[in-house]
């Protein structure tokens, strides 16, 4: 038993293939009598007919497929994928998955997909503040619709979906203030020496908030490779104290140092993280309060934008940046 084609449907319904196509695609400007339309629908149901996406794609030059590229080691990427996949399905698109593997020319190969698989758009999950203008230019040049999640925050040429990191810090500080009445110190963990986009905004927001509340800012830069420094810092703090960490890794180090010093988190020491990148906040003992980056929503927003771009439905004057607000995730640590 062969796979049914539109020809089979047409024969069974007593019409031409063109009509089948027109009905399935709601081709504007076609007029089909209700009887014929019904006959076609019946034939489709009876035969279990499905259009061959490859044949359709060959004719139209599009594939109803978008590519997602990101780091498959990073659990955040999964959330982005979740949001993207949902919106894609709803729009009748399919998601092709590509993982960062560490090859140099890897990302450029995504462009080849544009030719080879006729992908209709590209969505990347980049590191916060990441920007590769050369790549973006190539993509633009090729005419491939492209949206980055968390990348290119300062490039107006590239579409991206971002979260307001400054706002996340204000939200965290307001929450800690309400809960404890303390002005938190700020611990910023870094893996490298350069201060990236997100951290710059977080730091500025912290400084501004402290200024507005008449407290002197207390900022502590923490090298993730040197956890001992933290022990000294915490030992000198007058308790009870409150600390806000820029990143889960810092919070985790604070938990360890607190354990070593016999400080009880949530009582002697209040901790909050400005993120939940390891997806482990709720498993910490006690659970870690934080601000969450709503990656599922960001993935959904990015996919939606990519699809609109692919379909040419996006007006020219829409802003290049889509901002998604941060979310408070209370735990037991504050």
Partner DNA sequence: CTGTTAGCGCGTTCAC
Partner DNA sequence: GTGAACGCGCTAACAG
Residues lying near its own copies in the complex (CB under 8 A):
3, 48, 50-55, 57-58, 63, 68, 72-73, 75, 77-79, 81-82, 85-86, 89, 94-99, 101, 112, 115-118, 248, 252, 255-256, 259, 278-280, 283-286
Task: Give dist(CA 275, CA 291) in Å, integer.
Answer: 5
Q: Report the C-alpha gap between 167 and 171 in whole angstroms.
A: 6
User: CA 299, CA 69: separation in Å to the nearest integer?
Assistant: 12
CB 151 within 8 A of CB 298: no
Nearest one of 187, 295, 290 to 245, comparing CA atoms: 187
Which of 32, 41, 127, 138: binder of DNA (CB under 7 A)? 32
185 near 254, Cβ under 8 Å?
A: no
For residue 38, state whether it binds DNA (rule: CB under 7 A).
no
Judged by CB under 7 A, which of 26, 59, 103, 313 binds DNA?
59
Residue 18 near which of DNA, its own copies, none (CB within 5-8 Å, type-dependent): DNA
Is 47 a binder of DNA (CB under 7 A)?
Answer: no
27 touching DNA, by CB under 7 A: yes
Stretch of 33-41, 175-183, 200-208, 303-311 lying at the interface with DNA (CB under 7 A): 33-41
Site size for DNA (CB under 7 A): 31
Instruction: Of 189, 74, 200, give the one whose Cα is nearest residue 126.
Output: 74
Residue 320 contacts DNA per CB under 7 A: no
When asked if residue 94 is in the footprint of DNA (CB under 7 A), the reply is: no
Residue from 38, 42, 55, 279 in contact with DNA (CB under 7 A): 55
Identified binder of DNA from the candidate list 45, 58, 142, 235, rule CB under 7 A: 58
Burial class of residue 54 in the structure, from the number of CB atoms within 10 Å of its CB (0-12 exposed, 13-18 middle, 19+ buried): exposed
Radius of gyration of the chain (CA): 26
- Diameter over CA atoms, the chain: 87
CA distances, 273 to each of 259, 279, 292, 330 (Å): 17, 12, 9, 10
Applying CB under 7 A, which residues contact DNA? Answer: 3, 5-7, 14-22, 24-25, 27, 30-33, 35-37, 51-52, 55-56, 58-61
């Amino acid at each position: 038993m062969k796979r049914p084609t539109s020809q089979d449907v047409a024969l069974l319904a007593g019409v031409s293939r063109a009509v089948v196509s027109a009905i399935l695609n709601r081709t504007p400007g076609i007029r089909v009598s209700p009887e014929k339309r019904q006959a076609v629908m019946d034939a489709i149901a009876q035969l279990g007919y499905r259009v061959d996406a490859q044949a359709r794609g060959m004719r139209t030059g599009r594939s109803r497929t978008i590519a997602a590229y990101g780091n498959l080691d990073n659990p955040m990427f999964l959330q982005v994928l979740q949001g993207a996949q949902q919106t894609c399905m709803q729009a009748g698109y399919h998601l092709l998955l590509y993982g960062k593997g560490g090859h140099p020319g890897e990302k450029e190969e995504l462009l080849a997909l544009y030719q080879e698989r006729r992908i209709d758009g590209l969505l990347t999950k980049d590191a916060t503040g990441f920007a590769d203008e050369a790549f973006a230019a190539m993509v633009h040049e090729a005419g491939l619709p492209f949206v980055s999640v968390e990348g290119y925050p300062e490039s107006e040429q590239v579409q991206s979906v971002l979260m307001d990191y400054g706002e996340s810090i204000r939200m965290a500080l307001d929450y800690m203030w309400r809960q404890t009445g303390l002005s938190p110190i700020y611990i910023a963990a870094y893996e490298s020496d350069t201060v990236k986009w997100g951290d710059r905004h977080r730091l500025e927001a912290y400084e501004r908030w402290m200024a507005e509340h008449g407290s002197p800012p207390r900022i502590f830069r923490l090298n993730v490779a040197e956890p001992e420094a933290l022990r000294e810092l915490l030992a000198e703090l007058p308790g009870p104290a409150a600390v806000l960490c820029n990143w889960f890794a810092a919070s985790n180090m604070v938990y360890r140092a607190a354990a070593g010093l016999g400080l009880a988190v949530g009582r002697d020491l209040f901790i909050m993280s400005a993120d939940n990148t390891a997806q482990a906040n709720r498993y910490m003992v006690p659970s870690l309060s934080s601000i969450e980056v709503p990656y599922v929503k960001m993935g959904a927003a990015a996919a939606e934008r990519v699809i609109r771009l692919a379909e040419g439905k996006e007006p020219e004057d829409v802003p290049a940046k889509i901002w998604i607000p941060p979310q408070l995730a209370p735990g037991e640590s504050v």
